[in-house]
Structure 1
Amino acid sequence: MPLGSLRPSPLVEQATEHLREQILGGQWPVGGKLPGEAALAASLGVGRSTVREAVRALAEAGLVRARQGAGVFVIATEPHEDFGRRLRRAAVAEVYEARAVLEAQAVRLATRRRTDADLAAMVSALAARRLAAGADDAAFVDAELALHAAVVAAAGNPVLTELFAEYAPVLRDALAELTDPLGLRAADPATGDAAHAALVSAIASGAVGEAADLLDAELSATLARLVAAAGPA
């Protein structure tokens, strides 16, 4: 079945989309093998390098996989959803629960591994959080998350750091919107300052259990408010 010639530009995007449509439409079922580069290039009216880039894009989307010496095979008929998109679709309480699990381990590692530079970053972030007490909710939430990001970074695990960076935008948007309705800053614009200062102090002194308890108390309290705000499931 001919795939049809493509317009000159952008060729890679067009080639990727044409091949994706063929896969989603069942032209090549799961387990099926795509035609070779030369055949695809001729059908699409593009060069082999364009086909190569298009196939790479399909592989990154989780639709195909190359087997050395055998060719390119379809492994799924629907593209996988990236982690950031899944987070944006999830309920904020669900994201917060996952965040709490991540930080529970991160704070334990941070307490054991933190360097002088890590401690300086946390102290600086704590000071910035205090300054943000006079700002709007969005700026305060940014400062809050920056402090927690410094704690996670002190764990010395780049995977945890990258995971927290994925959570941060979703948490930022949700918390900035919910801070006022939840009353988190109504009585105290710098809400949680003492607890955060104690957390940084516990990490600095190497008190693993204390740091973990302080973090758990903070995140659990906010999560309880989020769940209550969401109402019955």
Structure 2
Amino acid sequence: MAQVTRTPLADQAADLLLERIRSGEWALGEKLPGETTLAPQLGVGRSTLREAIRQLAGRGVLASRQGSGVFITALDVSEDWDIVLRRAGIISVIEARIAIETEAASLAAARRTPADVSSIRKALSARAEYRDEIESHVDADTAFHRAIVAAAHNPILLDLFDSFTPRLREAMIEMLRIRKTFGHATDQDLHGGLADAIFDRDAAAAAQRSRAHLMSLRDSLA
């Protein structure tokens, strides 16, 4: 049976234990063998095994139940969010934007404050100034859309938007290089219309304009 051969021991023990879980050695919900059995199998001490178990518990694979033992709660770990996003194609990223930003635009129309209006106006104006260089245009465009998400006053939506901003930037730059045109007056007017719907507290129009804009991006690549 494979044993740990290099440090850090806890990380290696966690990897070996995860391999055995993935292989189906234990069923979902099954209890792991006790420390005195499992530690020698992995070639580590009991304290190292406990740290490995803590690592896998933190990743959602194991759960320690006081007085009962350690149980299998998942047969694999979910991939880190940043890894998922790096693998996502442009269309997938745009579809994620549709899900987040359409709802955010609707909420922003209902909840925006005078400070939010000022931030959105400023971001819209800045966006109009960057029409010649792709990276700068993408950064200004992202800042505009983030201002709208922030105006929704929903921290989870904002965290989601911020979490995939690096992949969003990469995808949008790639998309604009494919399209070779960006920053034209009509596009700026569409963004202005979205901002106006939010300023007018028209939630339905804000959601519709946000969705229509992003759908057009997606459809241009399909």
TM-score between the two structures when normalised by the length of structure 2 = 0.83
* Residues 202-211 or 151-160, more deviating: 202-211
Structure 1 residue aligned with 2:97: 99
- Structure 1 CA distance for aligned equivalents of residues 184 and 62 of structure 2: 52
Q: 1:45 to 1:205 in 2, by over 3 A?
A: same
Alignment match, 2:150:
153
Cα displacement string for residues 173-219 of structure 1 (whole angstroms, at most 9, x for unaligned residues): 1220121322432xx55662222223223212312233223223311
| Contact 1:66–1:72, Cα closer than 8 Å, also in 2 | yes
How far apart, CA to CA, are the structure 1 residues paired with 2:128 and 2:172?
A: 17
Letter of the 1:11 counterpart: L
Query: Is this contact kept in 2: 1:28–1:34, CA < 8 A?
Result: yes
Compute the displacement of 1:151 (Å). Answer: 0.6
| 1:121 to 2:119 alignment | yes
What letter corresponds to residue 221 of structure 1 in structure 2? S
1:71-118 deviation per Cα after TM superposition (whole angstroms, max 9, x unaligned):
111233322223443344344223322321221111111111112232
Whether the 8 Å CA contact 2:61–2:74 is kept in 1: the answer is yes
Distance in 1 separating the partners of 2:35 and 2:108: 49
Match of 2:44 in 1: 45
Distance in 2, Cα, partners of 1:147 & 1:38: 58
Summarize the Cα distance change of 1:30–1:123 in structure 2 as closer, same or farther, 3 Å threshold: same
Amino acid across the alignment from 2:165: A
Letter paired with 1:199: L
Q: CA deviation at 1:159?
A: 1.3
Compared CA separation, residues 109 and 120, structure 1 to 2 (3 A): same
- Aligned runs of 1:1-233 on 2, under 5 Å? 4=3, 7=6, 9-37=7-35, 40-41=38-39, 44-46=43-45, 48=47, 50-134=48-132, 136-185=133-182, 188-189=183-184, 192-227=187-222
- Give structure 2 stretches of 5+ with no counterpart: none
Identity of aligned residues (%): 40
> 1:15/1:90 Cα in 2 relative to 1: closer, same or farther (>3 Å)?
same
Cα–Cα, structure 1 residues 64 and 189, in superposed 2: closer, same or farther, change >3 Å? same
Aligned equivalent of 1:231: none
CA distance in 2 between counterparts of 1:100 and 1:5 reads: 46
**Structure 1 runs, 4 residues or longer, greater than 4 Å off:** 37-43, 188-191
Distance 1:5 1:224, change over 3 A: closer
Provide the aligned length of Structure 1 versus Structure 2.
221
Within 2, Cα distance between the matches of 1:67 and 1:115?
Answer: 47
**Aligned-pair RMSD on alpha carbons?**
2.7
